[in-house]
Amino acid sequence: MEYKIAVISGDGIGPEIVGEAKRVLDRVGSVYGHTFRYEEVLMGGISIDTYGVPLTDEALETARRSDSVLLGAVGGNVGNSRWYDVAPNLRPEAGLLAIRKGLGLFANIRPAYLYDGLSQACPLKKEIIGEGFDMVIVRELTGGLYFGERRTEEINGVLQATDTLVYSETEIRRVAVKAFEIAMKRKKKVTSVDKANVLDSSRLWRKVVAEVAKDYPEVSLENMLVDNCAMQLVMNPGQFDVILTENMFGDILSDEASMITGSIGMLSSASLNEGKFGLYEPSHGSAPDIAGKDIANPIATILSAAMMLRFSFDLDKEAEEVENAVCTVLADQYRTADIMAKGMTCVGTKEMGRLICERIRRNG
């Protein structure tokens, strides 16, 4: 089969890590007989430098016409005045919000699990880690505070700013369905996170999620308040399977969940629409301070490419092969600088990509 992938290398370490993910996809292609065609799309700081805006209509259109999108990272140091001394809707991150909305990518899937062999990087105590943890955060991505009406105004000489948190039942239902579908393939537990003791949007969230749950009798549903969830993540992370939550809560909780894995350089993510289309990107940022030094960890982007194979192309076997290759490289004690530990072999971005490719062979 042939697949058309829009590639957004972006800023900072983006081009380096995307380069290795493409190398891995090409290796999968040659081993399994698929062709991946790439079309480079500019977004973020590089698009601002080239076109004056973080995402052009043409770039969005190219992404829309592809079978899926692979993204590195966008943005620079927030102190970088070239990209940040402008209106918020012209900053690099605005490109990311525009592509999410423009492509209808309402479900953001962020897995967080503790790798065997990387548990020394986990900041939690051994007795809390226990048998480890393996959760997926399903974050609503195109609604809530991020996209509600906002304004700053002066009232009687006093500045006042307003952001609006809006959710329709349609928006809640479609992301809840994704979460339950994912739970069906896992440990069949959904924890829906909200602030229903205060917010109307959360009360509606809870009501709609309960309705969706009726269609999935095998999945157990638990409701949890967001402040409690923040606490539970560091007290007993093993209790979670699928966490379902709205945009802003998901932004915050997914950073917390990635931190307790101790290795944000390892975590992939997928942003999906109603169908098979998705945008795949590492959970980490553009790390401008280490850009161009061949030291960034490409594994999160490579694992995002594996998610693309699974979710957008239904190539489960190939996805598994990539994930196994990553596990084998780690078992063979290779590490990039961010996850380096005593006695291991430290390798750069390119070498890590090459070692993973080398381990992708057709196994049955």
- The dihedral through the CA atoms of 180, 182, 184, 188 has a sign that is negative
Supply the minimum distance, in Å, between the C-beta of residue 123 and ligand IPM. Answer: 20
Compare residues 282 and 298 and give the one whose CB is closer to ligand IPM. Answer: 282
CA distance 8 to 139: 22
The active-site residue out of 163, 200, 215, 227 is: 227
Q: Can 255 be counted among the known catalytic residues? A: yes
Sign of CA dihedral 128, 302, 289, 109: negative
Residues between 251 and 270 with contacts to ligand IPM, criterion CB under 6 A: 251
Binds 318: which of Mg ion, ligand IPM, none (CB < 5-8 Å by kind)? none
How many residues sit in the footprint of ligand IPM (CB under 6 A)? 3
Active site residue 251: yes
Answer with the entry of ligand IPM, Mg ion, none that 11 interacts with (C-beta below 5 to 8 A by kind): none
**Closest separation in Å from C-beta 28 to ligand IPM:** 26
For residues 131 and 302, give the distance between their C-alpha atoms in angstroms, rounded to a whole number.
26
In the complex with ligand IPM, the residue whose CB is nearer, 77 or 345, is 77
The minimum distance between CB 251 and Mg ion, in angstroms, equals 4
Q: Which of 101, 188, 189, 195 is catalytic?
A: 195
- Which one of the listed residues 26, 134, 255, 294 is annotated catalytic? 255
- Closest-by-Cβ residue to ligand IPM is 93
Beta strands 150-155; 158-163: pairing state: antiparallel
| CB-CB contact of 106 with 139 (8 Å) | no
Catalytic residue status for 146: yes
**CB 48, min distance to ligand IPM, A:** 15
Strands 189-194 and 242-245, bridge-based pairing? parallel
Q: Which of 11, 67, 241, 251 is catalytic?
A: 251
Secondary structure letter of residue 338 according to DSSP: G
1 close to 62: Cβ distance less than 8 angstroms: no
Residue 93 touches which member of ligand IPM, Mg ion, none, C-beta under 5-8 Å by kind: ligand IPM
In this complex, which beta carbon is closest to ligand IPM, that of residue 279 or of residue 357?
279
Of Mg ion, ligand IPM, none, which one sits near residue 194, judging by CB under 5 to 8 A according to partner kind?
A: none
Q: What is the CA radius of gyration of the chain?
A: 20
CA distance 136 to 159: 40
Does 93 participate in binding ligand IPM (rule CB under 6 A)? yes
Least Å distance between CB 255 and Mg ion?
5
Among 6, 7, 55, 96, binds ligand IPM (CB under 6 A): 96
Task: Report yes or no: 290 and 348 within 8 Å, Cβ to Cβ.
Answer: no
Closest residue to Mg ion, based on beta-carbon distance: 251
DSSP, collapsed to helix, strand or coil, labels residue 10 as: strand
Element (H, E) at 235: helix 226-235
Lay out the site mask for ligand IPM across 189-228 (x = CB under 6 A, - = otherwise).
----------------------------------------
**66 in Cβ contact with 33 (< 8 Å):** no
Residue 232: CB minimum distance to ligand IPM, A = 20
- Please tell me whether residue 238 adopts helix, strand or coil conformation: helix
Q: Which residues of 23-46 are buried (b: 16+ CB within 10 A; e: fewer)?
A: bbbebbbeeeebebebeebbbbbb
Catalytic residue check, 195: yes
Q: Which is nearer to ligand IPM, 28 or 98 (CB)?
A: 98
Least distance (Å) between residue 275 CB and Mg ion: 25
Place of tokens 């699990």: 113
Query: Which amino acid makes up residue 300?
Result: A
68-73 and 35-40 as β-strands: parallel, antiparallel, unpaired?
A: unpaired
Residues making contact with Mg ion (CB under 5 A)? 251
| Residues forming the site for ligand IPM (CB under 6 A) | 93, 96, 251
Q: Annotated active-site positions, please?
A: 146, 195, 227, 251, 255
